[in-house]
Structure 1
Amino acid sequence: MNSSHANISEELLARYLADTASESERNDVEAWLAESEANARELATYRLIWDHTAAMKKSSTGVDTDAAWNKMKGKMAMGKTADPLSKLPGKEVPTPEAPTREARTIEFRPEVRKRRLPVTVWAAAVIAILVTAFGWFFLISEKTPESLQVATTDNTKEQLLPDGTKVFLNYNSKLTYPENFKGDLRTVSLQGEAFFDVKRDAAHPFVIQANGTEIRVLGTSFNVKAYDAAPVRVDVATGKVRVSKDSHRVELVKGQSAEVLKDSIRSLQANINLMGYRTQIYEFNAADLQDVVTSIRDGYHVDVRLSNDKIAQCRLTIRFEKEPVDATLSVIAETLDLNLRKEGKVYWLDGNGCQ
């Protein structure tokens, strides 16, 4: 065990765990705990060992807590070669003549009035607890990468992931990803909408979990729309993407799209205008005005409405590239001989229909 408790005596830790410390002593220990995660993990390990030792003591009587702790500390300081584990098969004990690194063995040997089991059995049990405790805490700290999040509300944001993948988030979206990708897969979780430009790594596929749908790629660019109120939709810009849910699966290439329904996955043609929130490029080819307005509304995040159903079927063929929303709507109105007005934050297109 490390010595991060250099400013806290082991006797004080023992009284803290035994709930016999004074209020000022408890304050000292809690201040020490707040200094670092390492201190908290060390006390957690002590507590686990202490609890297991307390369970042993329930089967005996007359245990002196301070005496048990002092015996343990003595063993730690003296580093006796007469280690109880030296009697176990296959156990090698470091000799004082050529130590490679300092080894500290913690051993609890409760003093009882009536010992029911040999001392070596007690020692082996305590060492097993130590191994389990250390294994657990170090496994958690070393094997589980920390999860990070990036989220948007009324804004967009580009995020670079640890593997070099670029993610552009739309409004009201959240991406969860590990601090470092480990293992065979690079897995992230998405709520909302984002455009992914995945760094190619054939040995480590990139996986997106989105509302029960899995999107798996090696290296490509595509858009994922996964808001709670609508089916998950994937539009591929480059490369190949596999979309899966339960037993349903479809592979998409550039120019293809899929919509994930409750019991199926429906293939569609990709709609580049859905990516307008990132590119600010819109291209319409004989598109209904209602579809045009929907794309403008979603891409610019503005409220655009039609004053009547007659103009909803007006068709428009036009391209916009990084134009301000006011200019874009003005061009649409002029092209279709409509009127454009703004009331508060709402844009209205009005007219008598199209020929």
Structure 2
Amino acid sequence: MENGDEGPVTGSAQVDWEALARFLAGESPAEEADAVRAWLARDRSRHDVLSALDTTLDRASAPPAGLDVEAALRGVHARMDAPETPVIPFRAPARRAAPAPRRMPAPWLRAAAAIVLLLGVGWFTWRMMTGPGSARPPVSFATGVGQRDTVRLGDGTMVILGPDSRLTLARDYGREARQVELRGEAMFDVPHDEARPFTVRAGGAWVRDLGTTFSVQADSAAGVRVVVTQGAVALGTGEAREDEAVVLRQGDRGTLAAGRIQAERAVATADDVAWTQGRLVFRDAPFGQVAAELRRWYGLHLRAGDATVATRRLTASFQGEPPGDVLRVVGLALGAEVTMRGDTAVFRAASPGAPR
């Protein structure tokens, strides 16, 4: 499975990641399973890593409703094809005496990294970069413009990260509490733990899990927006106590703007989380929100050229259309003329009689 090392793919210079995944899942044919065991026996470090991966697989659970599997797999393959795999010091599972950290052979590290991405990149990155008693560096996950990604954290929390967004875990994540900081948009599916509350901090607000699936969007133009699709959350501001927070339940939508929380009961629809499926939906959205979303999804910069356009609202949906088509649709819907100035689209109210 490495250069000069026969394994599940005899004579191949590449590691057969699918064979290792089948072995971990208990689905290997007898001959393939024997080949994997023999390959593992030739190098103890291989056995150590597979043991850690097996623990990850044991902890895995079903993904939340709405998970975009295709997007997740695209992210996996993009990482697998990266020219270099970062070197991560390995620490053995707790059930064995922990040896001193050691550098793993690059080909095997690449194989381990690929399998880890399939089983849960979030947990394994955290586990491999830290150890008992070590000072944990903050771990972040980020996406670029128009990109989404899915990560599983060490406690089993599944996160779908929206375009141009960043999720940062607290240094002590998972010890006594589970706190993360969000810029942008994310959907969280959280296993509830009374002893270790899960809290998202975003844009001056905090959102605490009460056993739930929920999305959070933090944007400088529109404030913070929370949609609960299952269970309940507490939404608070600044250093407010939990008994001062607003409780949102399934189907509720909560917003924090200008320091005030507003709760809308039983109004959330599938459109509120359509972004997890790659669909951008606006329902009576103000111009500032439209501009912020199109920047994150398409890299477009929108500006209202007059006060009239700035007060207009948009109802439309997009799913992968070219940027030029998006601008034309927005212009028509807002009754505005669009002029490009460098990388900025300026919208002005269309003159009476102007072609639409």
> Could you tell me the TM-score, scaled by structure 1's length?
0.47
Larger radius of gyration: 1
Of structures 1 and 2, the one scoring higher in RCO (CA 8 A, sep 6+) is: 2
